[in-house]
């Protein structure tokens, strides 16, 4: 398994990966029918991430993308010290440490970045496997959005807000 930064040439495989994971379960916000990204739009998304110094990692197995992690920096001045992450792994590649490896690589990147102090994420409360991994790596629950997601069958899921500080603030250092 290879974990590396995405390049523009990955766009088609990222689309294929995304289509697969959106069909696999109820742990992601986007439904398969909502995912209508074109190749040109995906390339543009990758370019925008590169220009904004944001991170997009892919995980490859035998040259096929089977996982992706992206980090978006806070877009406003008062939240520019925070980044937000999203991660998706095809179910056939879960439970083998891949998610932890991708998250550790991202945390290493965030710690080296002079502006990022905090990494945040949102996760469905029923996604116990992901919550376990996040807690194991030092993320803490900061909040709960009750019945935040409503599924097609009428059931709901709460959403947990989790975060990890990767640097101490100036105030904490004084």
pLDDT of 121: 98
Which residues are CB-contacts of 71 (< 8 A; sequence separation ≥ 6)? 54, 55, 56, 83, 84, 85, 106, 109, 110, 119
The Cα–Cα gap between 71 and 102 comes to: 12
Eight-state DSSP code of residue 29: S
Q: What is the mean pLDDT of each run of 10 residues along the chain (174 residues)?
A: 96 96 87 90 96 96 96 94 96 94 97 96 95 97 96 94 87 55
Helix axes 11-24 and 39-51, enclosed angle (nearest 10)? 100
Q: Give strand pairing partners of 83.
A: 73, 119
Whole-prediction pTM value? 0.91
The structure tokens listed for 154 are 């009428």
Q: Give the pLDDT of residue 32.
A: 85
Which CA distances in Å does 170 have to 10, 49, 81, 115, 173?
39, 28, 12, 12, 5
pLDDT at 41: 96
pLDDT at 173: 56
- What does the block give as tokens for 3? 């974990």
Task: Report the phi/psi class of residue 142: left, alpha or beta, with left for phi > 0 and alpha for psi in -120 to 50.
Answer: alpha
**Model pLDDT, residue 153:** 92
CA–CA separation, 123 vs 99, rounded Å? Answer: 14
**Shortest CA distance to 163 belongs to which of 98, 74, 50?**
74
Res 29: pLDDT: 81
Domain 2-173 of CATH type 3.40.630.30: yes
**Which value, in Å, is the radius of gyration of the alpha carbons in the chain?**
16
Number of residues written out for the chain: 174
């Amino acid at each position: 398994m290879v974990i590396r930064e995405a390049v523009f040439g990955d766009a088609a495989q990222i689309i294929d990966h995304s289509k697969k994971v959106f069909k696999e379960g109820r742990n992601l916000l986007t439904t398969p029918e909502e995912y209508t990204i074109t190749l040109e739009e995906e390339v543009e998304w990758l370019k925008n991430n590169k220009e904004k110094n944001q991170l997009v990692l892919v995980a490859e197995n035998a040259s096929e993308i089977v996982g992706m992690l992206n980090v978006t920096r806070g877009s406003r001045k008062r939240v520019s010290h925070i980044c937000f992450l999203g991660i998706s792994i095809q179910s056939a590649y879960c439970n083998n440490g891949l998610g932890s490896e991708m998250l550790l690589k991202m945390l290493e990147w965030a710690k080296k970045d002079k502006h990022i102090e905090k990494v945040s994420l949102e996760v469905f409360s029923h996604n116990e496997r992901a919550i376990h991994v996040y807690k194991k790596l030092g993320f803490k629950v900061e909040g709960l959005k009750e019945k935040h997601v409503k599924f097609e069958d009428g059931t709901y899921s709460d959403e947990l807000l989790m975060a990890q500080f990767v640097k101490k603030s100036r105030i904490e250092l004084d």
